[in-house]
């Protein structure tokens, strides 16, 4: 049944697009972007084992992004993705090596429809994803309006997520009566207010003020927690959470060869986590066809009030987690992307071209966290115009 649902999620929009040559609308322009990602991770603080144990994980993902311009004011965007992962950490849910929990697959579809009006743009969003123990759906919209004669823009975005888990407990606790799992659903409302300003021809900035509210099952039931007296339970977190990120972005274009992209984000929530993110990217045009973009990001956060390491939780605590994603840490991420624009044309006939390869891209990043977690991620893509 899971494979049938994954197939339906991916194939249904393709069937709808096959009818796009009807008189209902005409396709004016189509961009297609094909991406492949490979992710490899390792660490020593598995949340599944209570904060100790291997975290090695590999993930392979394929994605197709299609953007369709039906006329000068309407557009349709579709993203289709499938990924498969193997994880030594989730393998320990059952305490059996190479168990069914070691690997899983996920299918995802994201859709958006945009309409441009005079001095304003309106976009509607929808998405769905499914894997063996999880289903998620999203609906949302955004509206952006030009102000100051087109030199500034003000926008609002709302995306609401509706998630449903299959509750899976560690093998030792199955059949036990554990309070705190009255629901398997988690809902989120993500709201963002955005202001963008062009200061001059070389400098622009934007500010994002976000408010995120989550409620429902916010803990992961198969994450173990060990107490000071060596007793065992599972992760428990409050059933609601407010999150308050503020993001500032600055773009500077001193010439036609190099530009500077900078970001700072402050984050706070009522789990008592606060964080700071600083990022810089330096896109450089090496020639008319080649460009490279090195980047670096620094991140630091404080620990959640509910986090303790393995065996350090009090038996009297109402909420507890040993997930090191909620611990205090600093992290570094660096890498680069390389883009080549060959403009290769295929199947030319008279004045018509069936497809043009516009961009070949490669991106690599390395991430290191001071608690021992690190990962490598590489992606390659090709962009067509049809």
pTM of the predicted structure, to 2 decimals: 0.88
Cα–Cα distance between 170 and 92 in angstroms, integer?
8
Phi, psi (5° rounding) for residue 244? -130, 75
Give me the pLDDT at residue 72, please: 76
- Would you write out the chain's pLDDT as a tens digit for each of its 386 residues? 444 444 444 444 444 444 444 444 456 678 899 999 999 999 999 999 999 999 999 999 999 999 998 877 899 999 999 999 888 766 667 655 444 457 888 999 999 999 998 878 999 999 999 988 889 999 999 999 999 888 999 999 999 999 999 888 888 888 777 766 778 999 999 999 999 999 999 999 999 999 999 999 999 999 999 999 999 999 999 999 999 999 999 999 999 999 999 999 999 999 999 999 999 999 999 998 999 999 999 999 999 999 999 999 999 999 999 999 999 999 999 999 999 988 776 656 666 656 788 899 999 999 999 999 999 999 999 998 87
The CATH number covering residue 311 comes to 2.40.160
Asked if residue 45 lies in contact with residue 371, where contact means CB atoms within 8 angstroms, the answer is: yes
Asked if residue 123 lies in contact with residue 114, where contact means CB atoms within 8 angstroms, the answer is: yes
Number of domains in the chain: 1
Tokens of 54: 């291997």
Tokens of 193: 């207010």
Cα–Cα distance between 274 and 286 in angstroms, integer?
39
> 78 is in which domain, residue-wise?
2-385
Give me the pLDDT at residue 180, please: 67
Asked if residue 223 lies in contact with residue 322, where contact means CB atoms within 8 angstroms, the answer is: yes
The residues near 248 (Cβ < 8 Å, ≥ 6 apart) are 205, 206, 207, 208, 263, 264, 265
Phi, psi (5° rounding) for residue 321? -150, 150
Give me the pLDDT at residue 9, please: 46
Give me the pLDDT at residue 200, please: 94
Give me the pLDDT at residue 132, please: 81
Give me the pLDDT at residue 146, please: 92
182 CB burial (10 A radius; 0-12, 13-18, 19+): exposed
Q: How many residues does the chain have?
A: 386
First-to-final CA distance of the chain: 35
């Amino acid at each position: 049944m899971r494979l049938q649902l994954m197939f339906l999620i991916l194939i249904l929009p393709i069937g709808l697009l096959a009818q796009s040559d009807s008189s209902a609308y005409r396709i004016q322009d189509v961009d297609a972007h094909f991406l492949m990602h490979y992710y490899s991770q390792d660490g020593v603080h598995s949340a599944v084992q209570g904060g100790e144990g291997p975290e090695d994980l590999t993930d392979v993902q394929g994605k197709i992004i299609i953007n369709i311009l039906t006329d000068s004011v309407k557009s349709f965007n579709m993203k289709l993705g499938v990924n498969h992962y193997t994880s030594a950490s989730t393998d320990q849910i059952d305490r059996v090596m190479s168990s069914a929990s070691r690997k899983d697959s996920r299918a995802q579809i994201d859709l958006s429809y945009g309409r441009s009006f005079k001095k304003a743009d309106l976009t509607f969003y929808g998405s769905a994803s499914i894997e063996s123990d999880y289903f998620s759906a999203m609906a949302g919209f955004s509206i952006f309006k030009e102000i100051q004669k087109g030199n500034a823009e003000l926008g609002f975005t709302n995306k609401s997520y509706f998630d449903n888990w299959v509750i899976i407990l560690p093998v030792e606790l199955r059949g036990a009566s554990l309070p705190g799992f009255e629901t398997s659903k988690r809902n989120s409302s993500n709201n963002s207010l955005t202001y963008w300003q062009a200061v001059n021809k070389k400098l622009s900035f934007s500010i994002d003020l976000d408010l995120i509210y989550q409620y429902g099952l916010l803990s992961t039931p198969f994450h173990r927690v060990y107490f000071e007296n060596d007793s065992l339970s599972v992760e428990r977190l409050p059933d609601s959470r407010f999150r308050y990120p503020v993001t500032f972005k600055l773009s500077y274009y001193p010439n036609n060869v190099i530009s500077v992209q900078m970001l700072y984000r402050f984050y706070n929530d009522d789990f008592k986590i606060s964080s700071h993110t600083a990022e810089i990217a330096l896109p450089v045009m090496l020639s008319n066809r080649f460009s490279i973009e090195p980047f670096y990001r620094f991140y630091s956060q404080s620990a959640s009030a509910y986090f303790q390491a393995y065996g350090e939780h009090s038996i009297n605590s109402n909420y507890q987690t040993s997930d090191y994603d909620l611990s205090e840490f600093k992290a570094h991420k660096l890498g680069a992307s390389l883009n080549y624009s060959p403009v290769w044309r295929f199947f030319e006939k008279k004045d018509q071209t069936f497809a043009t390869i516009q961009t070949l891209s490669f991106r690599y990043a390395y991430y290191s966290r001071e608690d021992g977690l690190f990962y490598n991620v590489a992606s390659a893509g090709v962009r067509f115009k049809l």
